[in-house]
Each structure stands twice: as C-alpha cells, then as structure tokens.
Structure 1
Amino acid sequence: MRIEQQPLVVPSPTDLHQQVSEMIDWLATYGGQGEHGDHGVTRTLYSPAWQAAQSALEHCMREGGLIPRYDDVGNLFGRLSGTEQDGRVILTGSHLDTVVDGGKYDGAYGIIASFIAVRYLKEHYGTPRRSIEVVSLCEEEGSRFPMTYWGSGSMTGIRDMQQVEGIADAEGISFREAMGQAGFGMGIHPSPRRDDLECFIELHVEQGEVLEREGQSIGLVSHIVGQRRYEVTVSGESNHAGTTPMEWRRDALLTAAELIRLVGEWAKRQGDGLVATVGRMEIHPNVGNVIAREVTFSLDVRHPDAEVIRQFCEALFIEWKKIAAAQGTTLTYHKWMDEDPVAMSETLASKAQMILARQGISHRRMTSGAGHDSQVFGTYCPTSLLFVPSHLGISHSPREFTGTDELVCGVRLLIELLYELAY
C-alpha cells in the first residue's frame, strides 16, 4: 500500500551516523585484515570472501524489506517495486570487489549508501512510483582476472562469456571454473542483460584529493575521462660501460629517460586537466656496468576530451621519434587501450545540484580521472556519479579513509535524489 505523498524529511546526520559507520565496518569484515578491515580488504571476484559478502548483503536486503535476486554472473539486486507498470527501474549502487589489500570504502560505500537510502524511503514513504533496485555489482577492479567491469559490462552487453574463455587467475584457476564454484554461469539465475534501466546513480569516494583540498563536500561528476594506454619500447645496443665512448653509444635507457622527461614537461604545459603517466619500466639487460639494449615502459594519457588526447599523443610520438633517431635508437609502441570520455547526465547532475543548494551543502562540478562502473552505464542510460571526499586522495590502500560525516552527507543527498526520481 502506497503511503500518501508527503514532503520529504531527510534524516539528520546524527540519525545516520551510526548506521553508516557500522555498515562500512561490517562489510569490511568480509575479506578484511585486522579489526573492521583496517589493515586492508581483499575481496576478489568469486573468492570465498566475495561469496560470503554477497550472501550477507542478500540477507541484509531481505531483512530491510527489499526483494533480493542474483543474475547469472553474480550481480546482486535488492528491489523495491513501484506502482508504475512500465517496468522501468532506477538502479543505484556500486561494486563489491576490491583490489588486493585495498581500502574498505571503494565500491562498498556506494552499495551501503544505496541500501540505507532505499530502506529509509521504504520505511517512511512506502511504495514508490518508480521501482528502485540497489545493486552490488560483482566486479569492477580486474584484480583477480584480466577483465574489468564484468558486472556492469554484462548488464549492458559490452561483456559476454566468450570474452572470458581462456582467462585464468594467478593460481591457474580459470574464470569459468571460479564462476561455477561460486554458483554462477550455469543458467540457474536470470541473464545479466538489462533493457529496463531508467537511470543509474553511483555514490563513490573520490579517490583523489580535489574535494578535500578545496573544502567541498560533494563532487558532481560531469565526465569520466578518456584514456589511452601504450606499451613503448626503445631499442639500442648493449656494450661495455667503461670502454664505449659516449658519442658512439646507442643507449636505450638514456633515450627512454629523455622521452619520459618530455611526457611530464608537455603534460604540465598543456595545463587543461590532461594527465600523463609513465608508471612501469623494464630494462634489459638491467646490469650496472652494461649499456641498456632495450627499455620498455608504459604510457597512460587521460583527459575529458578525446580530441585533446589524440592531438597530445600524436605530437608526442612525432617528437619522440626524432629524439630516438638522433640518439641512434629506434622506437616502437603498441596502443592497447583507447577509451573515449563518457559524459554523465546533465539532468541528473542539475537535480543533485539543486538539492545541495537547498541543503546548503558545498559542492563542485568535476571530472573523474579514475574509471568507474558509471562509465559503462553512462553510454547505456542516464547516469550520475557523485563523489564524497577522500582523505589525502589515498585509495586502493588500507589507508583509504573518508570521515563518517562526509559519508553521511552523501547518503542524505542520495535519499533526496531518489525520492525526487522515484516518488
């Protein structure tokens, strides 16, 4: 029975403080090291810790008055059915999996916040007009298998079973085997593919320090940046470090150092939010008294405009080839990732901004430099990605931390946003 429409009363921060804090610590016990996962959380796809956490959330959803169900890849949904019969669903949540020795907020906070918000709305305002589902997405990180966005990708059609054939983890357990051991991938549960999503809302810790540095409580993400990633190889010639004159050398490492220096210099000069990173390097033969024959390194370039990325990379490689040739070395490269930026819904962001203005909550528009499930849903349905601050920008680490007051602020925003959309 639907309770008569009435003005929304958002719970006070005090009312939510204990709920949010306790649920964050509770979920961190699944795969967590130390009390409340304070020494890191490892909850990789289909692992025993992952299975236990999904089962615990399923029980929690049922106890909270939601109808839980799984799909065939292990995504967990808690449904609050609405009165409208068109079948459209407002989806809210995030991913359950973690990196190895990760933090207890990444992904988990979005699930917990969504559950608390929907439970509150059900208890105080009854049946919504539009159906809402809280989702605990099975995987986003790619920390066990070389496959990212398995949960959201399976729902939207960019991932399928053929893509996991031949994939195994570090222990040699195949993706298919792990899925089967967890009870999925056998047709017992419904297909993950969805065509009924009205929108997706993801509340997440920032994993950066922009909000904290600027003293803002909420980030309204306009775009998730595009990314290009390359593997770059510089080839030269090994020779004796003591007997080869400098002018005769074909030193792959010396060339690589000059190329990498240029990356930082040009990215800073760009000055419009572009970031470029060299984070991995292999040197051969990697001996102290031998000139390097070959150096392979990574290049990661990100920006919210695909054309800016393209122009930066093209100009960079033209200059790199000149430098390599001048030093008697050769340059080869392989582009293995090229993801376009994804825009979030301006309509949803504007609704959230109006709510924050009414509440007097500080906020800013921003881009996300990290990938999220929202970038998968953002090409499929209207999507909103909302950030709360991360202390010192630390994430994917046991030191990841967001204060409870800031977590509660995000939950209160989500309650009001879901109320406007669903009630």
Structure 2
Amino acid sequence: MKEVQIMELEKVVDERLKKLSSIGSDPTGGMTRLLYSDSWLEAQKYVKAQMESTGMATKFDDVGNLFGRIEGSETPEETIMTGSHIDTVVNGGTLDGQFGVVASLTAVQFLQEKYGAPKRSLEVISMAEEEGSRFPTVFWGSKNFVGIANNDEVKDVADANGKKFADEMHRQGFDFSAKQTRRDDIKAFVEEHIEQGSILEREHEQIGVVNSIAGQRRYDITLKGEANHAGTTPLSYRHDAVYGMAKIVNIALDKAHEIGDPLVLTFGKVVPKPNTVNVVPGEVLFTMDCRHTDADYLVKFTTEIENMMRDVAKEMGLDINIDLWMDEKPVPMSQKIVDTIESQAKAGKYKYRVMHSGAGHDSQIIAPVYPTAMIFVPSINGVSHNPAENTKFEDLVEGVKLMADTLYQLAYK
C-alpha cells in the first residue's frame, strides 16, 4: 500500500465497529443479532447507509443479502467481491462476522478515495446469515448468493419462540427468491475474519492467509447396556454404557494426539441415562466432531474410529448405534488468490503465516463457485462466540490494510 492515512483509517474502523456493536447488544453481555430480527435489519440498514455515504450503489437481494458496488472504469463486467456476514450467535462477541463487513467496506472506501474508480468493479456484500442461531439453517445468505439454497427446507420451520421463518422474513420486507440466478461476473471473493483460535496470537503473528477450510464429520453415538443398582451390582457383572464410552474416548483421543495437526477430534456432548448418582448407566448418547484438511484422510481416520467403537461395544456386551449426520468435505481456497494475499503480506512486511481454518465460514460455500480466499486476524486467547471475544485494535487495523492491499492488486492492476 502506498502511504496510508493510518489515523483516519483507525478512526473509521473504530466508529463503525462501535456503532454496529451497539445494534443488538445483549443486556447479559456481548451481542445477539439474529436473522430477520429488528436489530438485524437495523444493522443492515446502517451498513447500507455507510455504503451509500462512500458513493456505492446499494441493493438488497430477495432474502436480505446487502450489496454495495463501485463500477469499474475499464472492465466493469468483472467484479472483485469482498464481505462477510452480519448476524451473530446468541450472546456472542462483537467481531465475528461484522468485523469482516467493516474491514471490506473500509478497505474499498480507502481505495476509492485514494485511487479513484477501480479498473474492475468492486463490490461489498453483507450476508444475511451464517450462524444458524435462530432457525435450523446455516449459510442462508451465502447459499442464496451462489444459488444453492433449498427454500423448502425453511418455509415451515420456526424459532424457539414459535415464530415462523417465512413470517419473519416477510415482516422485514423480504421473500424467497422466485428463481436463484448465479452470477457470472465475479472473478474473486476475499473474506476477512477473526481467527477464532489461538495460533496467530501464540506465534506472535498478525495475519493468517487461509488456504483451506477443514472438512468436518459429526456423529451422534448411542451405547446401550443395562441400568442397575450401583451398590449391589459387582463390576464384573455390569454392562456400563459410560464405561464403554470412556474406553472409546480414551482410545480415540490418544490416537488423535499421536497424529497431531491438522487433525482435531472432540467429544463435546454426553447424555447418560438415567443420569443419577446411584444407578449404573444403562445408556449414553455422546457426540464426536472430527476435522481435517484432507478429505481422504478424514474418512480413513473416522472409519477406523467407527470400527474401534464397534469392537469396544462387542467386547463389553453393549449395543451401539453410530449416526454420521454431518459429512462436509474440506474446501481448498483459490491458490491464485492465496498467492495474491501472501505476496502483499510479504511486500508490506506483515507478520503472517499461511494456515487452514478449523471453523466453517461463508467462504466454504462460495469457494466451489468463485475463486476465494480468506484473511485472518488474531483472537485474544482464541476466544470466540463469547462476550469475551476480542482482538487487539492494531491487529484489526493491520487486517484492514492488508485487505486494501489485496483488493488493490485484484481490482486496480
């Protein structure tokens, strides 16, 4: 980047983040801004006004994705897009999603003010929803954007208060797209996000250049044995479901630790039955979440774990049911866009590393359709989806600067 008006950039980022963080602030701390809520619409309208104040032409699509556009001076039919999502989890932080929107908007504004109109069109998207926190749907914004949303899956669903998806959408002035048409003008998409992990902070780096998003396999596993009296049933007579689960978890996690990064394995939920102090548990439901950046290795490892689970259950006289309910393949980013970001990180002497994302993002929906890559900034203590979510302000600013550098190469060169 040429000489940057750092103080002005800092001021704009600070003002926009503070304003957005006041829209949907949760009285118990953090942010709660859910799809088609009043605070969600207020936030989108604020972003729209900010876009228009910089001279962008704005529009909403049918479902509430917001677009701000600057026409290119030479090849306007080619579009470089950037952005993220505007919704939050319940009682979440003030950066997840909205920092990416602010970073994109501010970077485009800076470029326009400093260099004038780009050669290719620049467009910022504030996506309607990514988190799945209100209704049983995820990536609603990006799935509609790329034309793969299934309206039938959400037409009749409701939130925890019984409010129907379609009714809330209509209340805020939006409707299902009659026909989703995939655009053919987008030549690149760049998303900026907080890391939601601790690698960058631990390694004293300010930027992550994301080259892939890990695949995920999620399971519900049920072990059934026999509930019995905790005092009168000898250990050798028991068919203890929790004991079986403990063996499975121990073997699986030991194996995962032997393999190490980028494999991660989590047993996050445990529901024993009857779940009382003086009864041998006759049944237990538990979950397994496994992630890796290589699709074949992810399947190989989890298949081995599945077979091990069955062996343990048979050995202990337990019945087992293994339900694989999520099977998302890893998503590689565009090497060309990754190289562009990395070259700018080197040129600007940013402290960076090339890395994968263990969390899901809108980019994983967009990447199979358009050339896509991501920029990460550090998360303090790796905390996210939590009111304590935070990033050093100077790291946020570095992220915005690198976004501007990257968009300059993509849209002006």
TM-score, scaled to structure 2: 0.96
- Distance between the aligned counterparts of 1:182 and 1:10, measured in 2? 43
Cα 1:154–1:117 change in 2 (3 A) is same
Contact 1:220/1:364 (CA < 8 Å) preserved in 2? yes
Q: Any idea what SS the aligned residue of 2:289 has?
A: strand
- Is 1:269 aligned to residue 258 of structure 2? yes
CA contact (8 A) 1:286 1:292 kept: yes
Instruction: Confirm or deny that 1:11 pairs with 2:13.
Output: no
1:398 corresponds to which residue?
Answer: 387
Q: Verify the 8 A CA contact 1:238 1:293 in the aligned structure 2.
A: yes
Q: After superposition, where does 1:223-242 map in structure 2 within 5 Å? A: 223-242=212-231
| 2:43 aligned residue | 53
| 1:30 counterpart residue number | 23
Alpha carbons of structure 1 residues 248 and 104: separation in structure 2 relative to 1, 3 Å:
same
Contact residue 73 and residue 192 of structure 1 kept, 8 A? no
CA contact (8 A) 2:93 2:385 kept: yes
Displacement of 1:86:
6.0
**Match among 296, 299, 317 for residue 285 of structure 2:** 296
Which residue pairs with 2:13 in the alignment? 20
Shifted more, 387-396 versus 163-172: the winner is 163-172
Checking the alignment, whether the CA contact within 8 Å between 1:13 and 1:409 is kept in structure 2 is no
Distance 1:174 1:80, change over 3 A: same
Verify: 1:317 aligned to 2:306, yes or no: yes
Residue 194 of structure 1 deviates from its aligned partner by: 2.9
Deviation at 1:287, TM superposition (A): 1.6
Map Cα deviations across residues 326-366 of structure 1 (whole Å, 9 max, x no partner). Answer: 11111111111001100011111111111111111111111
- 1:87 positional shift: 2.0
SS at match of 1:336: strand
Given the alignment, which residue of 34, 42, 45 partners 2:32? 42
1:162 alignment partner in structure 2: 152
Q: Report the alpha carbon displacement of residue 100 of structure 1 after superposing the two structures with TM.
A: 0.5
Superposition deviation, residue 18 in structure 1: 1.7
Deviation readout 1:149-182 (Å, 9 max, x if unpaired): 0001111122131221322111111111111111
Q: Which amino acid aligns with 1:179?
A: M
Aligned equivalent of 2:95, options 100, 105, 109: 105
Q: 1:300 to 1:10 in 2, by over 3 A?
A: farther
User: In structure 1, how many angstroms separate the alpha carbons of the residues matched to 2:125 and 2:73?
Assistant: 20
| One-letter identity of the residue aligned with 2:311 | K
C-alpha separation between the residues in 2 aligned to 1:381 and 1:186? 23
Residue identity in the other structure for 2:253: G
Pair 1:206 & 2:199 matched: no
Question: Structure 1 residues 313 and 59, CA, compared in 2 at 3 Å: closer, same or farther?
Answer: same
Q: Of residues 54, 62, 66 in structure 2, which corresponds to 1:64?
A: 54
* CA deviations over 1:59-105 (Å, ceiling 9, x no partner): 11111111110000100001111124562211101000000011111
Question: C-alpha displacement at 1:205, in angstroms?
Answer: 0.6
RMSD between aligned residues: 1.6
- The equivalent of 1:408 in structure 2 is 397
Q: Distance in 2 between matches of 1:166 and 1:337?
A: 22
**Counterpart of 2:329?**
340
Compared with structure 1, are the counterparts of its residues 292 and 107 closer, same or farther at alpha carbon in structure 2 (3 Å cutoff)? same
Write the deviation string for residues 96-117 of structure 1: whole angstroms up to 9, x where unpaired: 0000011111111110011111
**Contact 2:85–2:130 (8 Å) recurs in 1:** yes
What is the one-letter code of the residue matched to 1:246?
L
1:42 deviates by 0.5
Match of 2:240 in 1: 251
Amino acid at match of 2:318: T
CA contact (8 A) 2:220 2:286 kept: yes
CA distance in 1, matches of 2:185, 2:35: 25
Q: Would you say the 8 A contact 1:263–1:277 is kept in 2?
A: no
Please give the TM-score of this superposition, normalised by the length of structure 1: 0.94
Query: May I ask how many residue pairs the two structures share in their alignment?
Result: 412
Determine whether 1:279 maps to 2:272. Answer: no
Q: Are 2:141 and 1:151 equivalent residues in the alignment? A: yes
Equivalent residue number for residue 105 of structure 2:
115
Tell me if the contact between 1:10 and 1:415 (Cα under 8 Å) persists in the aligned partners.
no
Q: What is the aligned counterpart of 1:82 among 72, 78, 86?
A: 72
**Who is 1:138 aligned against?**
128
CA gap 1:165/1:135 in 2 versus in 1, 3 angstroms: same
User: 1:354 & 1:11 partners in 2: Cα distance?
Assistant: 18
1:284 Cα deviation from its structure 2 partner = 1.1
Q: Structure 1, unaligned stretches of length 5 or more?
A: 1-7
Q: Quick check: 1:71–1:191 contact (8 Å CA) kept in 2?
A: no
Whether 2:373 is the aligned partner of 1:384: answer yes
Q: Determine which of 163, 169, 177 is the counterpart of 1:179.
A: 169
Aligned partners of 1:72 and 1:191 also within 8 Å: no
CA contact (8 A) 1:232 1:333 kept: yes
Q: Which amino acid aligns with 2:297?
A: V
Alignment partner of 1:420 is 2:413: no
Uncovered stretches (5+) of structure 2, i.e. residues with no partner:
none
